Amino acid sequence: MSEYVAPLKDMQFVLDELVDMDSIRQLPECEEISTDLVEAILDEAGKFASGVLSPLNIVGDKEGVRWQPEGVTTATGWQDAYNQFVAGGWNAISCEPEYGGQGVPRVISTLVEEMWNSANVSFTLCPMLTRGAIESIELRGSDALKQAYLPKLISGEWTGTMNLTEPQAGSDLAAIRSRAVPKADGSYSVHGQKIFITYGEHDLAENIIHLVLARTPEAPEGVKGISLFVVPKFLVKADGSLGARNDVHCVSVEHKLGIHASPTCVMAFGDSEGATGYLVGEENRGIEYMFIMMNAARFSVGLEGVGLAERAYQRATAYARDRVQCPEAGVKGSGKVAIIRHPDVRRMLMLMKSQTEAMRALACVVGSAIDHAQRAPDSTIREQNQAFVDLMIPIVKGWSTENAINIASLGVQVHGGMGFIEETGAAQYLRDARITSIYEGTTGIQANDLIGRKIAREGGKTIGLVITRMREVLQQLQQSTAEPLAAIAKALAAAIEALERAVAFIVASYGKDVRAALVGAVPFLQLFGTVSGGWLLAQGALAAQRKLEAGSDDQAFLQAKIVTARFYADHVLSQAPGLAYTVVEGAAGALAIEDEQL
């Protein structure tokens, strides 16, 4: 089986043509992010992904993890790979320099993270959760917590987790029962059980820092009474060295459909004397703080979708080039040919390719906005970019992961019967991708957040600005005389109109009939993602056309960008009016039926 190869040319095209890298370099502490440095980072990341992480992917899938009372053992090669990961500074790539990070812009680490996910998503989950813990402590932790935990978390010597879900709670965090009792020394005694904790226990690092939601004794009911605590596996002494083992243990690991090499743990806190924990920020603001981690994690889960889609596409394309079967349709006297010559296989591969490139483009545009939201000196620019980020994270997470499942399924289909056989590797991507639309908030949760908090609450203001940007690209397409661009313009114009129709319905109906609006929430998320992808692929096609007209010698790549955008317009963007119809008209059929009739 072939190993993963990073799509560096397409990544560089996105940075050059869809992201304003000059504006990134003007941000504080980004002045040294030269083109050469970016190319070097991506090139080295690609080598690590293909040379170290990718060969371990199938090993981890087959071996999984092993639980014993004293801890969890990861798959063969995992420890060595993690040591190399840390030694190479990859864990610290986009963290703040104050505590040992490299401060690389998020738009660059977005592409690096995509590579890790393509090569080995089970491995990547560990640093992804660590990154979320780092952000929460950076933004809301006391100076003492920052000094004690950030340097080792950023270096990767320690790892981090998120501990939200409990057996009786699921996504309903208001039902959390874990408790934290104040102690005389200012710490807390934490008691409770958490489930579905990714990398809650493992043998990769010497300490694991758990961020745990729990209630203090006088806390009010519901989500307003939840606080956030740092609970280390090993207590940390004043000099930074490790002390006694804390009263926190993994009591079992889950047996899952996919991501076998990522330990998904049931964690017990305080079964004996109580687990020592330290309050993050203020009491009763834990949900607010945890959403710092949650939003970072949701963006990263979207990148899992992009990475898995790319890997499934690469595997399917390699198979289609090698598999010889049947004569070529329409070619008289043709001998048997590689199945990549068959129209339906080409259609499936182009669905995989075009949607993956659209997802990558959107993730990078949002990653760039994250950089401006966090670093721009002008507060107005920060606020505008943060509003865009908040709007688009449900799309990056929900749309990309749903697409990844479909793209991985297409990969199996391209393989035919061999795709259903584990030895080809195609099935693993589908199994691994299936969780991505569930954890860190299901697609339904993302969609409800999108239409309620991000659109209806502000009367569609921010999405209106995004649609304005879409129309600017449409106008450029309509001014071009190139035939493929005219076809793209036609599909994009209809798609934008469909999106505007759906937005108007949500803004008008959400406050009057919320159930009717919520029925169409997921179709709306799919609609918005589909149109966003078409917008950015169209922008890329315009850039490619300009380069061709200027005499670029990279004609094959640039022509492929235009053809890919045209295919997306014809096969994917064309679905937008139907999705808008479902958003506007779909409530009656869903809500009229009685429970017992289902």
Pair of tokens at residue 367: 């990653």
Q: Are strands 207-214 and 158-163 parallel, antiparallel or unpaired?
A: parallel
d(CA 179, CA 191): 5
Residue 186 sits at φ, ψ, to 5 deg, of 95, -10
Residues ≥6 apart with Cβ < 8 Å to 571: 347, 350, 351, 354
Residues ≥6 apart with Cβ < 8 Å to 234: 206, 207, 242, 243, 244, 245, 246
Residue 571: count of CB within 10 angstroms of its CB: 15
H helix or E strand, kind and range, residue 447 = helix 443-449
199 phi-psi bin (left φ>0, alpha ψ -120 to 50, beta other): left
d(CA 526, CA 580): 10
Q: Which residues pair with 265 in a beta bridge?
A: 197, 253
Burial of 173 from C-beta contacts in 10 A (0-12 / 13-18 / 19+): middle
Catalytic residue among 114, 138, 201, 440: 440
Rg of the chain over all Cα atoms, to the nearest angstrom:
24
Residue 127: count of CB within 10 angstroms of its CB: 25
**CA proximity to 494, closest of 476, 470, 518:** 470
Pair of tokens at residue 226: 């939840």
Residue 378: count of CB within 10 angstroms of its CB: 9
Check if 440 is active-site: yes
What does the DSSP assignment read for 301-317?
HHHHHHHHHHHHHHHHH
Residue 74 sits at φ, ψ, to 5 deg, of -85, 175
Report the Cα 265 to chain-centroid distance in Å: 21
**Angle at alpha carbon of residue 341, lines to 314 and 50, rounded to 5°:** 15
* Share of the chain residues as helix, strand and coil, in percent rounded to the nearest 5: 60, 10, 25
DSSP annotation of 397:
I
d(CA 134, CA 145): 11
Q: Which residues pair with 158 in a beta bridge?
A: 207
Inter-residue contact 264 to 196 (CB < 8 Å): yes
Length of the chain: 598
d(CA 174, CA 511): 24
d(CA 277, CA 212): 9
Residue 238: count of CB within 10 angstroms of its CB: 7
d(CA 278, CA 209): 11
Reduce the DSSP state of residue 440 to 3 states and report it.
coil
H helix or E strand, kind and range, residue 267 = strand 264-269
Q: Which residues are catalytic?
A: 440
